[in-house]
Amino acid sequence: MTATSTDIQTLAIDTIRALSMDAVQTANSGHPGTPMALAPVAYQLFQNAMDYDPAKPHWPGRDRFVLSCGHASMLLYSTLHLIGTKATDIHGNPTGGESITLDSIKKFRQIGSVCAGHPEYAEAAGIETTTGPLGAGVSNSVGMAMAEKWLAANYNTDDLTLFNYNTYAICSDGDLMEGIATEAASVAGHLKLDNLCWLYDDNNITIEGDTDLAFSEDIGMKFEGMGWNVLKVDNANDVEALNKAVAAFKACSNKPTLVIVKSIIGYGAPNKQNTHGAHGAPLGWDEVALAKKSYGLPEDEKFYVPAGVKEHFADGVGKRGAAASAAWEDVWTKYQAAEPAKAAELQAMFVGKLPEGWDKDIPVFEADAKGDATRNSSGKVLNAIAKNIPFMIGGSADLAPSNKSDLKFEGAGEFLPTSYGGRNLHFGIREHAMSGITNGLCLSGLRGYCATFFVFTDYMRGGMRLSSIMHQPTLYILTHDSIGVGEDGPTHQPIEHLTACRAIPGLNVYRPGDANEVAECYRSAMMISDHPAAMVLSRQNMPTMDRTKFAPASGCLKGGYILSDCEGTPDVILMGSGSELYMAVDAGEKLTAAGKKVRVVSMPCMDIFAQQDQSYIDEVLPPAVTNRVAIEAGIQMSWDRWIGSNGKFIGMHSFGASGPFDQVYEHFGINAASVEKAANC
């Protein structure tokens, strides 16, 4: 234990610690030890290092702070409260109140408080991303750093610098054990992102006990091998050493920086510090009192903010941040006059709007019995859209030629190490980090997308789920969508994945049934700015339907629509999506010729269809018509709502098989004949 200091810096740090302990103990739930250990790190970053204006917490030129070890959320909440972070509206405009009030801290982890157990994006200003699943935050931070590099390359001029910010992330042993962190770190090192700094809390403690139980890596050597600048601070309480480390980060070029900070978890709690007892459970009021005594704070006063602490922060980060944001606003004013076209692009990006005319070049595809794979039409539509959205950027996990996700129009370019102006990203075979990085791009205002084979959503589901929780418009382009993958066999044939993705609340899963449905599904997805979208696309061809014979593909905007119909009440309703839709059409034509009244319904996006008025749903699927058949090369689960208890499903009830795709379809009986037979049962 060190002697108690009464200087204002130490008092401010200890106030962060005490607020964090009190909140966790009052909630009787949470993680007190890490905020107690890392209070000096948060203090140093906000008070002395970051360009951050608490009065304008969303100004575009600010440094970003990510608490990747989200279980230590009280570290963030206490700091944001003490530095005076202002509340904002959905557009980032200050509303006059506090972002994190003391009352919210007192209600930590309770219903109605913005101080959730883990930081939740947009719950309060100053929370840059949702963190909780370990490794997610650091992957987001790579995307944020990439966004700054791209924005600087495309919008800064010789005279006017709008973008020159850094991204800081605090991470834990748990973060760096997760594979996503290594994937993300590898990307950052390869790209030489010298605007990225991770501060690693090296405290040797996890929930089960000492990290020696399962973790013995030389993290410094590992990161050096990935191209990082590695620094060490031997004592988290040494603010001057932290200051020197951050200064060394800022002086380093062509490498991201990892600062390994040795800390004592639960610092100041005499019986629990440096043990796993300070990690995932409250300390107990007696231990809290002893810790406060060691800090020189009143032992029995809860949620105590000593006189002078807020003023200290106001004189530091408050004044520095105000000056920095004012300087940025001055540059922005000059920029709008000097570069009106580029300024208009940025203004649209800042408010989350798409530029005028973004969809003017979306193609209309001619009817074609042979047709095309929807991955191919997707590539055409993606390029038509992206060339008119200058801040749309993305790439694939080493599969762009197969996903058709590369941008080929003039000026699209490549995003490469030290050459950051291009819009084609290369993630390597790192699906999990790819989804997290793309979320970081979107959190920075860009319209980010990423692409892989549909089956590999198993690896990126964590990031997909978080994009929905955060209401980000992340676009996932997912090809090779079914048993149509063929010869690659069961490992590469997604069976349960449509249902699994549809189960994520707020993720709009599109599976278009021909080229024009692809176009309209993209239009739908791009117009929705507060939900992610998954575009699920085929490798094999399917007919491009004659829209003079069938309903227009604009019906996709409602998620499901009547593709073809009969006179009066149908005897049977056939439903399908994607590469099986034409099978429902073929079956419908045969049933109609046999005298049945048939309606065929295309269901490219169940999520959006379910959001329609009940009157529209009943118009498409009349409740009285219970003879319904759905066909899809996946499992039945997500169709049960639409086919009802009397409905029939033609699809998969096992994993796939290796063989030519058409033979695989026949092997499993997924064809028009099976639909026709089911309709007659």
Catalytic positions: 431
| Under 8 Å between Cβ of 266 and 272 | yes
Contact, 97 vs 86, CB < 8 A? yes
Bridge partner residues of 452 (DSSP): 478
With both helix axes pointing from N to C terminus, report the angle between 319-338 and 340-350 in degrees, rounded to the nearest 10.
Answer: 130
CA distance 344 to 216: 51
Rounded to whole angstroms, the Cα distance separating 143 from 145 reads 5
Rounded Cα–Cα distance for residues 638 and 627 (Å): 18
At residue 221, φ and ψ (nearest 5 deg) are: -65, -40
CA atoms within 13 A on the CB side of 53: 21
Which parts of 560-643 fold into alpha helices (H)? Answer: 581-593, 606-610, 614-620, 640-643
CA distance 18 to 288: 8
Nearest to 549 by CA among 593, 608, 589: 589
Q: Hey, which residues does 453 pair with through a beta bridge?
A: 479
| Rounded Cα–Cα distance for residues 292 and 298 (Å) | 7
3-state secondary structure of 295: helix
Q: Are 503 and 509 in contact (CB under 8 A)?
A: no
Residue 486: which region, alpha, beta or left (left: phi > 0; alpha: psi -120 to 50)?
A: left
Contact assessment for residue 430 and residue 405, using Cβ atoms and an 8 Å cutoff: no
Which of these, 82, 223, 80, 76, lies nearest to 137 by C-alpha position?
A: 76
- C-alpha 108/C-alpha 28 separation (Å) is 10
In three-state secondary structure terms, 1 is coil
**Distance between CA atoms of 405 and 383, rounded to whole angstroms?**
8
Both tokens assigned to 109: 């982890």
Cα(173)–Cα(187) distance, integer angstroms: 19
Strand partners, 628: 573
Which residues lie below 8 Å from residue 503, measured CB to CB, with a gap of 6+? Answer: 638
CB-based contacts of 579: which residues, under 8 Å, 6+ apart?
374, 481, 482, 484, 513, 538, 540, 542, 633
Give the pair of three-digit tokens for residue 243: 């200051």
Residue 609 phi, psi dihedral angles, 5° rounding: -60, -40
Element (H, E) at 200: strand 196-202
Q: At 534, is the secondary structure helix, strand, or coil? A: strand
Cα atoms in the 13 Å half-sphere on the side-chain side of 98: 18
